[in-house]
Amino acid sequence: MTTRSVEIVVAVVFLVIGAVVIIDSLRVGAGWDSDAPGAGYFPFYIGLMMTAASIIILIQALVSKSSELAKTFVDPVAFRPVLLVLAPTLVYVLVIEFLGIYVASAIFIGAFMVYFGSYGWTKTIAVSILVPAAMFMMFEIWFLVPLPKGPLEALFGY
């Protein structure tokens, strides 16, 4: 993928969002409501300006001959580590939904250390249990801010 195609995609996304903002503003009333500006009065112009800006960006991306645009957006070799962080992060958030944030964090940190750092088991287990444990102390006990918990915490009565 070249930078140009990413530029075009992003500009089109902006264009769509701008259009959505305009349409929704018209729906809730972009004009003058009996005696006061309607709910869509301000957002309407926001949508309008976003649309205008994105059209110009789109045209520039399409016609510009800048060599920057012809470059690849990300080098596949450099992109690999990005995905290797992004994908586990998504899985991590999904796991939070089921196991709670403490267990999920322990698994996440542990997996990261084994995969990227190739640490031994003792070190990995130590870090991946101590960090969530410290978090638990801080949030649940000191600050009394409840975080998402799962079956394991339920077992201990939290």
Partner 1 sequence: MEEIQALFHGFAVVLQPFNLVLMVIGIVLGVIIGVLPGLGGANGVAILLPLTFSMPPTSAIIMLSCIYWGALFGGAITSILFNIPGEPWSVATTFDGHPMAQKGQAGEALTGAFTSSFVGALVAVVLITFLAPLVARFALRFGPPEFFAVQFLTFCSFIGMGRGSPFKTMASMMLGFAMAAVGLDTVTGTLRMTFGWSELLRGFDFLIAVIGLFGIGEILLTMEEGLAFKGMSAKLNLKVVLQTWRQLPAYWLTSLRASTIGCWMGITPGGATPASFMSYGIAKRFSKNGDKFGTGELEGVIAPETAAHAAGTSALLPMLTLGIPGSPTAAVLLGGLLIWGLQPGPLLFIEQKEFVWGLIASMYLGNIVGLIIVLTCVPFFAAILRVPFSIIAPIILVICAVGAYTVHNAMLDIWLMVLFGVIGYVFKKLDYPLPPMVLALVLGDMAESSFRQSMLSSQGSLSIFWSNPLVATIFGLGLILLFWPLISWIMQLAKRRAVVSSGS
Q: Decide if residue 63 touches partner 1 (CB under 8 A).
A: no
Shortest reach from residue 33's CB to partner 1, in Å: 7
Q: Decide if residue 103 touches partner 1 (CB under 8 A).
A: no
How far, CA to CA in Å, does 157 sit from each of 18, 53, 102, 106, 152?
A: 49, 55, 15, 19, 9
Options 12, 19, 26, 147; binder of partner 1; rule CB under 8 A: 147
How far, CA to CA in Å, does 75 sit from each of 11, 31, 119?
A: 22, 48, 28
Q: Decide if residue 146 touches partner 1 (CB under 8 A).
A: yes
Options 5, 66, 72, 89; binder of partner 1; rule CB under 8 A: 89
Shortest reach from residue 62's CB to partner 1, in Å: 14
Whole-angstrom Cα distance, residue 153 to residue 158?
5
Q: In sequence order, what DSSP letters do the residues of 89-154 get, joined into one string?
A: HHHHHHHHHHHHHHHHHHHHHHHHIIIII---HHHHHHHHHHHHHHHHIIIIIIS-----B-HHHH
Contacts with partner 1, residue ranges (CB under 8 A): 3, 6-7, 10-11, 14, 17-18, 20-21, 24-25, 28-29, 32-33, 36-43, 46-47, 49-50, 53-54, 56-57, 60, 73-74, 78-79, 81-82, 84-86, 89-90, 92-93, 96-97, 101, 105, 108-109, 112-113, 115-117, 119, 127, 131-132, 135, 139, 143, 145-148
